[in-house]
Structure 1
Amino acid sequence: MDVVHFRPLESNWGHLLSEAGSLSPETRAFLATLGIEAPGDEGLWLEALTHGSFGGPRNYERLEFLGDRVLGLVIAEWLHELTDQAEGQLSQRLNALVSREMCARQARSIGLAPHIRLGKQARDDGGTDSDNILGDVMEALLGASFVARGFEPTRELVRKIWAKAVSGGAGHHKHPKSALQEWTAGNRRKMPEYEVIDRSGPDHAAIFTVRVSVKGVGEAQASGPSKQEAEKRAAAAFMENFA
């Protein structure tokens, strides 16, 4: 499968979208790199690019809600087509590929950030590099594409942008803590509890020992050079012993 690379546009921030309510030439050119040559209803695309801090009656939230579902369907269909993995493995990959972090990563890859309409405070606070905002706007663009162009062109757009992530290893390996949390939820157990029960060694070479327990099931412990690593190893030990 060919991987499509998008080069972010070089522009002056703050002059990318017309205050008159129409798309700027820079943003029309950006959409064209995504295969959207004739945006049509420009208000729809402006809505997809507008954060609540910008003001005005509409922002990206409704389109983000729609785009999230469209993305999930496209990726689920794609994974079903590509592999004969079991449902659990498919779900694991799906969750990784549609996560907020993954959507933000794809937004950066296509140069989306300069085209987001933010209020001054949100922009000054680093909103254009926020995973939450970038991920939401990425999904909102997909929602706008679905409304304006239908499912097939939007499906093609997702496959272009997500090609590298799908062909790579995203979602193949689940973090032990995530796996344990999903296991407890699936078995109607209380969430796992982690506790540091020992810390030894000098500061530059400390060893942490962590115990993880699930009420009514059991506990496991492990050590590591950091609290996070010890928690990860303890979760893996618990899954090996009880899952």
Structure 2
Amino acid sequence: MNADLKQLQQKLNVTFRNRQLLKQAFTHASYVNEHRFGHHQDNERLEFLGDAVLELTVSEFLFEQCPNRPEGELTKLRASIVCEPSLVNFANRLHFGQYVLLGKGEELTGGRTRPALLADVFESFVGALYLDQGLEPVREFLRRFIFPLISLDGKLQTNDYKTQLQELTQQYSLGSLEYRIVEERGPAHEREFVSEVYMGDECLGRGLGRSKKEAEQHAAAQALEHVVIPKS
């Protein structure tokens, strides 16, 4: 068992009975392709299962917490939780990216911070936990780490990309961030702003929005796709 995955279990207060399932949850297909004789399995099947388990457990949570909301609103709210941006946020908060086994090419191209990869890893972990221990431990995991991110009025608190980017850069001591409004477009009543986020002289992301804050959020969201976490 990878020492890092032991550390992750301690942090999450979860102990896998089948540790191979946990390892599989964090094994990307690129790693398997480069280690064909190692009998490794990638996480794609676990991702498929985890997606279904999340749909069920999030549906249960919303059904219990929002007794007066109609079916249509619950469906939209669930979709806003079980979607790539939210799953990426969850994975980043738990620092899942640092535990993924990647192929060398994927590593060099920034795969460890790629949104689709992080969303898949989060779903894979949920799928692995379900297979290993059943639904209740999954519910407990979500109650501790995910459901508190949803306020009582049902609005998600997961779209603050500036905070995510700040936390990531602070965690790995990457440097300070600076947001610059580099362009303003359109008439006063239909103003659009273009923001860029810099780390030193490097532009990490660029975003367009109806307000300066919105443009900065979009710039931070793009930066999250490109920022490279140093190898440990």
TM-score grouping bracket, smaller chain normalisation: 0.5 to 0.7
- Determine the structure 1 residue equivalent to 2:12: 34
Closer/same/farther in 2, CA of residues 29 and 206 from structure 1, 3 Å limit: closer
- Determine the structure 1 residue equivalent to 2:24: 47
- For the pair 1:146 / 2:120, whether they are aligned, the reply is no
TM-score (structure 1 length as normaliser): 0.62
Amino acid in structure 1 at the alignment position of 2:100: I
CA contact (8 A) 2:184 2:191 kept: no
Q: How far is 1:87 from its partner? A: 1.4
1:67 and 1:106 map into 2 onto residues whose CA distance is: 14
The secondary structure found in structure 1 opposite 2:6 is helix
1:204 and 1:150 map into 2 onto residues whose CA distance is: 52
2:56 and 2:79 map into 1 onto residues whose CA distance is: 12
2:184 and 2:6 map into 1 onto residues whose CA distance is: 54
Instruction: Provide, for residues 161-210 of structure 1, a one-character-per-residue CA deviation record: whole Å limited to 9, x for no partner.
Output: 21232227218xxxxxxxxxxxxxxxxxxxxxxxxxxxxxxx954317xx
CA contact (8 A) 1:71 1:158 kept: no
- Determine the structure 2 residue equivalent to 1:3: none
Amino acid in structure 1 at the alignment position of 2:53: V
2:4 and 2:101 map into 1 onto residues whose CA distance is: 13
Select 1:117's aligned residue among 101, 111, 123. 101
TM-score (structure 2 length as normaliser): 0.64
CA contact (8 A) 1:97 1:165 kept: no
Select 2:51's aligned residue among 61, 68, 81. 68
Amino acid in structure 2 at the alignment position of 1:50: T
CA contact (8 A) 1:45 1:144 kept: yes
Q: Superposed, which structure 2 residues align to 1:19-30 within 5 Å?
A: 23-30=1-8
Indicate the RMSD between aligned Cα atoms, in angstroms.
Answer: 2.6
Q: How far is 1:101 from its partner? A: 1.2
- For the pair 1:170 / 2:156, whether they are aligned, the reply is yes
Select 2:110's aligned residue among 126, 137, 144. 126
CA contact (8 A) 2:22 2:128 kept: yes
Runs of 4+ in 1 over 2 A off after TM superposition: 203-206, 222-229
CA contact (8 A) 2:84 2:115 kept: yes
1:149 and 1:78 map into 2 onto residues whose CA distance is: 19
- Determine the structure 2 residue equivalent to 1:225: 192
Amino acid in structure 1 at the alignment position of 2:25: A
Q: How far is 1:224 from its partner? A: 4.0
1:150 and 1:159 map into 2 onto residues whose CA distance is: 15
Q: How far is 1:31 from its partner? A: 1.5
CA contact (8 A) 1:53 1:119 kept: yes
Identity %: 27
The secondary structure found in structure 1 opposite 2:150 is helix
2:77 and 2:96 map into 1 onto residues whose CA distance is: 24
